[in-house]
């Protein structure tokens, strides 16, 4: 894990050095900012770390949750402007998380999932998801 984190830091340093956009803040560590806040919800901690680095490099402030229960709690605390949501998670899956989230938040939700069938994508859009991205994804898609 340390080597991955070191690699991410080196990547971030090289990205930020050539990027006119100031890097975003890791909202898992700081709460008060004026920039767009993105909540990344996935039980894969390596993927969460990767997405956080990509989004921070693009100037977004990012926070994360490892499951639906934590996502709902974090959403109430920080009120994200956008949610990236995995569907297959322990404790509370993405479907239930979405239904609960919609009870108190109108933040756009983009599903980021390994499920790639047309039926799953249509179901997500019908359930109120704003967009759908399949894993694996290209950095530019995020």
Q: Is residue 128 part of a domain?
A: no
Q: Is residue 54 part of a domain?
A: yes
Name the residue range of residue 64's domain: 2-107
pLDDT band with cut points at 50, 70 and 90 for residue 135 = confident
- Looking at residue 137, its pLDDT comes to 73
Higher local confidence (pLDDT), 82 or 13: 82
pLDDT tops 80 at residue 94: yes
Q: Is residue 35 part of a domain?
A: yes
- Looking at residue 84, its pLDDT comes to 97
- Residue 79's CB is within 10 A of a number of other CB atoms, namely 12
Q: Is residue 76 part of a domain?
A: yes
CATH number of the domain bearing residue 40: 3.40.50.2300
Domain count, the chain: 1
Going across the sheet that includes 82-85, the strands are 61-65, 37-41, 82-85, 109-113, 131-134
Give dist(CA 18, CA 102) in Å, integer: 38
pLDDT tops 70 at residue 10: no
Please enumerate in sequence order all residues whose Cβ is within 8 A of that of 49, keeping only pairs 6 or more positions apart, or say none.
4, 5, 8
Q: Is residue 126 part of a domain?
A: no
User: Quick one: which of 52, 72, 70 has its CA closest to 60?
Assistant: 52
User: Quick one: which of 98, 55, 107 has its CA closest to 79?
Assistant: 107
Q: Is residue 80 part of a domain?
A: yes
Span 12-48, pLDDT tens digits = 555 555 555 566 667 666 555 678 999 999 999 999 9
- Looking at residue 101, its pLDDT comes to 96
């Amino acid at each position: 894990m340390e080597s991955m984190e070191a690699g991410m830091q080196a990547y971030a340093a090289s990205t930020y050095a050539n990027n006119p956009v100031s890097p975003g803040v890791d909202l898992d560590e700081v709460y008060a900012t004026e920039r767009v806040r993105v909540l990344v919800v996935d039980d894969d901690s390596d993927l969460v770390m990767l997405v956080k680095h990509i989004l921070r490099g693009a100037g977004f402030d990012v926070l994360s949750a490892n499951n639906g229960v934590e996502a709902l709690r974090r959403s109430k605390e920080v009120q994200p402007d956008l949610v990236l949501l995995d569907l297959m998670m322990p404790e509370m899956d993405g479907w239930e998380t979405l239904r609960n989230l919609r009870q108190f938040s109108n933040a756009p939700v983009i599903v980021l999932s390994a499920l790639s069938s047309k039926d799953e994508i249509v179901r997500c859009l019908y359930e109120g998801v704003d967009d759908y991205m399949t894993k694996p994804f290209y950095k530019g898609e995020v």
